[in-house]
Chain A
């Protein structure tokens, strides 16, 4: 017997964790930001499809393109991590769930950081 307090008395007065809805709202705000970024990506994809090396470097070196590409990757990778997290939480249980959630986080952060660093390297003329 660790305590005579009932579960109800321990929970009473603490209230909600106060961040329950933050994750849900962040998903929607990232989705909202991605709508115009994706509209821009269609145009970027058309310019870059089959582009040679110099054309692609010149495109990325444009400040507006470099910033929009960086924002697209940052918001997009955050959004994709959030989406995959929900899928794992929906279908996978037990120890596998924790492993896949961590794998999802590591893949998203590694690939996102790598992509942003590479864009900045090309944009700043280091390529």
Chain B
């Protein structure tokens, strides 16, 4: 990093020496989803605040949420929610020392992504079918 250094030394996480693998993608997505859910939690707090502030505030909040940009944000948060949930369960399994076999870890990582897409679409389909959203 400094000019005194004889050569540019590799910095963690060594992206330039690792070839792509699906568990790496899974880990990166888990962190991005977590950041997205941080925003989602603040939106939940905003919902609670609007509900406690009366019908006008709640109406303004819901108008914002059912707009196209509002729905886009909520759909991205839905993706983040299901991904972080699925990957979080995989991490809890990993914490018990199980599931580190390469084939198992790769398959589980792919499953988390597939689960996210299917569960998110299904949830929004049910929401529309129930007449909400």
- Partner-B contacts on A (CB < 8 A): 28, 31-32, 34-35, 38, 42, 45-51, 53, 56-57, 60, 73, 76-77, 80, 83-84, 87, 107, 111-112, 114-119, 121-122, 126-127
In the complex with contacts A31-B92, A38-B81, A57-B132 CB distance below 8 A: no
Q: Are B127 and A83 in contact, CB atoms less than 8 angstroms apart?
A: no
Quick check: is B45 within 8 A (CB to CB) of the other chain?
A: yes
**Majority SS at the chain A contact face:** helix
- A121 / chain B contacts, CB cutoff of 8 Å: 52
- B85 / chain A contacts, CB cutoff of 8 Å: 35, 38
Q: Are B132 and A112 in contact, CB atoms less than 8 angstroms apart?
A: no
| B: interface residue count bin | 20 to 34
Q: Which of A53, A56, A122, A126 has the most CB of B within 10 A?
A: A53
- A49 / chain B contacts, CB cutoff of 8 Å: 127, 130, 132-133
Q: Are A51 and B49 in contact, CB atoms less than 8 angstroms apart?
A: no
Chain B nearest CB from A70 CB (Å) reads 10
- B45 / chain A contacts, CB cutoff of 8 Å: 73, 111-112, 114-115, 118
Q: Are B88 and A57 in contact, CB atoms less than 8 angstroms apart?
A: no
In the complex with contacts A49-B127, A118-B49, A84-B88 CB distance below 8 A: no
Q: Are A115 and B92 in contact, CB atoms less than 8 angstroms apart?
A: no
Chain B nearest CB from A101 CB (Å) reads 14
Task: Give which listed residue, B31, B48, B81, B91, contacts A115 with CB less than 8 A.
Answer: B48
- A50 / chain B contacts, CB cutoff of 8 Å: 62, 66, 127, 131-133
Q: Are A80 and B34 in contact, CB atoms less than 8 angstroms apart?
A: yes
In the complex with contacts A84-B35, A127-B51, A127-B52, A53-B59 CB distance below 8 A: yes
